[in-house]
A and B are shown apart, each in its own frame.
Chain A
């Protein structure tokens, strides 16, 4: 694994692509080492807000050294990020976390499931799968008709949509789509809110298929030192041997069978 570092990145572009959803491209050397499912810590420039915000990687352009982050405006830190204009310098910590096991499942029937702000990492994941010749089914769940990244995802596989209010696609969530379409993938890779991830875990267990879940938790250091962002694990964790894995370091992507969520 490459060395983690804190670097100065430069904003290439930013636009709002749905209400409170921002699409930010950064020029940074971190792009050379970034993979699907990993994340970076983005620091607010306002130093009354100290901690890096963990944001998943949505797209990587290694040759150009460009990293795309699609995030939700959720508070003061992301509120500041949303004001950034091209040329703005941003401090970024990365590359963090383990990422999805992309190569391991090549040639298999793969379903990607993204819910809400869990959708952005699915884009880079789908892109990396396409590079190795895989074409996943991509199931995405939104709150309402304000879709984002949906058209882009269509370039990498069959895209199925669920909305909570039924305005587009299936009325319900990504699991409702799985059932309605009678999908039976060999492996599922998911990112989204905790109730969705619990449902994906249960679905996978019931059908006896592999599932990988990308988890989220409040973090401080992002590098495995503070033990803030743990999740319950079925077996002894690697670090503390107490069934509490660090999401930032052992994760954020876990085999669904290994986490007790």
Chain B
């Protein structure tokens, strides 16, 4: 049975990854999960300098999901390279760094600093809905996405995955723009912009007022968008959005994703990633699937 998948020339031992912002750099979940078992770890977003993020409250639960407006708090690329990367290097798993920035120059700074490191792949965050400058501004207009993707591709030494926002009118157009600019792959979906109001206090549940919705509540939206993006491009797609079980993960594979990432469900069950991996293997045995590639894009 083969569970290996290849994305942008990088071979993953299995298609189960962690979604950015839900797994730190792996350290916090190493009590629960043997990180060696994961196909890869997509880190929390890293900028060129430390970002302090938004005021609290930053999280709120919603029916079958949650809103967050962390605001990409992160220690900056230097601390990441000095502290988090050596931690990740202890494990036999692929290291994908999620890169964020307020300007194209910010992104390029991080991409260049990661150039000569052991990082396997870059995921460019042009889709965070919770920061005022940058991020999503690059991910909601096809020409802006094309521009930043091509500039990053010129500097990047690792394969570049563009993480797309679901908060767009036409996901296929965005997917095509990233592909045309040379992206090695796409990942989607980031969170859906939402809002919750505390009726008892008569105020917004989040200090940022709006936040990104994640969790099982968004999965059908994510499956639809992954399908549409995968149909629109030839580059591989990493699917994410509310994945809780192996069946969910297989749904994304069948919709056209070459790999999947587990996000909010890490908070609900810290063992989710490994349970999904075992569930995928059980599914492959049950249906006599020799190679996981048979599942990818299996439903057209």
- Judge if A99 is at the interface, Cβ distance under 8 Å: no
State which of A5, A49, A231, A241 has its C-beta within 8 Å of the C-beta of B32.
Answer: A5
- Judge if B267 is at the interface, Cβ distance under 8 Å: yes
Question: Which chain B positions have C-beta within 8 A of A240?
Answer: 50-53, 73-75
Question: Which chain A positions have C-beta within 8 A of B59?
Answer: 51, 218-220, 226, 228-229
* Complex: A6 Cα to B264 Cα, angstroms: 16
The smallest beta-carbon distance between B244 and chain A, in angstroms, is 9
- Judge if B274 is at the interface, Cβ distance under 8 Å: no
List 24 interface pairs A-B (beta carbons < 8 Å), by A numbering: A6-B32, A6-B269, A6-B270, A50-B265, A50-B267, A51-B61, A51-B268, A219-B59, A220-B264, A220-B267, A221-B28, A224-B24, A226-B70, A227-B58, A227-B70, A229-B58, A239-B75, A240-B50, A240-B73, A240-B75, A241-B76, A242-B50, A244-B52, A244-B53
Where chain A touches its partner, the secondary structure class is loop
Question: Which chain B positions have C-beta within 8 A of A77?
Answer: 61
A50-B264, A50-B267 are contacts. A217–B28 as well, Cβ < 8 Å?
no
Q: Would you list which residues of chain B between 253 and 293 have a CB under 8 Å from chain A?
A: 264-271
8 closest cross-chain pairs (CB), A and B:
A228-B59, A242-B52, A225-B28, A221-B267, A225-B24, A218-B57, A224-B28, A220-B59
Residue in B closest to A53 when the chains form the complex, CB atoms: B61
Quick check: B268 and A4 within 8 Å, CB to CB? no
Quick check: A6 and B271 within 8 Å, CB to CB? yes
- Judge if A13 is at the interface, Cβ distance under 8 Å: no
Q: Mark B35-58, 1 if CB is under 8 A from A, else 0.
A: 000000000100000111100111
Quick check: A50 and B29 within 8 Å, CB to CB? no
Q: Which residues of A approach B to under 8 Å, CB–CB?
A: 3-6, 43, 47-52, 77, 93, 217-231, 239-244, 249
State which of A5, A6, A43, A228 has its C-beta within 8 Å of the C-beta of B70.
Answer: A228
- Judge if B227 is at the interface, Cβ distance under 8 Å: no
Q: Would you list which residues of chain B between 1 and 50 have a CB under 8 Å from chain A?
A: 21-24, 28-29, 31-32, 44, 50
Quick check: B266 and A225 within 8 Å, CB to CB? yes
Residue in B closest to A1 when the chains form the complex, CB atoms: B31
Question: Which chain B positions have C-beta within 8 A of A49?
Answer: 61
* Complex: A224 Cα to B28 Cα, angstroms: 6
The smallest beta-carbon distance between A55 and chain B, in angstroms, is 15
The smallest beta-carbon distance between B65 and chain A, in angstroms, is 7
* Complex: A231 Cα to B29 Cα, angstroms: 22
Quick check: B79 and A241 within 8 Å, CB to CB? yes
A218-B59, A226-B21, A230-B73 are contacts. A242–B51 as well, Cβ < 8 Å?
yes
The smallest beta-carbon distance between A21 and chain B, in angstroms, is 18
Quick check: B52 and A243 within 8 Å, CB to CB? yes
* Complex: A222 Cα to B29 Cα, angstroms: 11
- Judge if B60 is at the interface, Cβ distance under 8 Å: yes
- Judge if B187 is at the interface, Cβ distance under 8 Å: no
A217-B56, A242-B52 are contacts. A226–B268 as well, Cβ < 8 Å?
no
Question: Which chain B positions have C-beta within 8 A of A43?
Answer: 268
Q: A227-B44, A228-B59 are in contact. List 20 more A-B contacts (CB 8 A).
A: A4-B32, A5-B32, A6-B271, A48-B63, A50-B61, A50-B215, A224-B28, A225-B22, A226-B21, A226-B22, A227-B73, A228-B56, A228-B70, A229-B58, A231-B56, A239-B75, A240-B74, A242-B51, A242-B52, A244-B52
* Complex: A219 Cα to B268 Cα, angstroms: 12
A224-B24, A226-B21 are contacts. A218–B60 as well, Cβ < 8 Å?
yes
A5-B31, A218-B57, A226-B267 are contacts. A51–B66 as well, Cβ < 8 Å?
yes
* Complex: A50 Cα to B50 Cα, angstroms: 30
Quick check: A241 and B75 within 8 Å, CB to CB? yes
Question: Which chain A positions have C-beta within 8 A of B61?
Answer: 49-51, 77
- Judge if B68 is at the interface, Cβ distance under 8 Å: yes
Quick check: B266 and A3 within 8 Å, CB to CB? no
The smallest beta-carbon distance between A5 and chain B, in angstroms, is 7
A221-B28, A226-B267, A228-B58 are contacts. A48–B75 as well, Cβ < 8 Å?
no
State which of A50, A221, A224 has its C-beta within 8 Å of the C-beta of B64.
Answer: A50
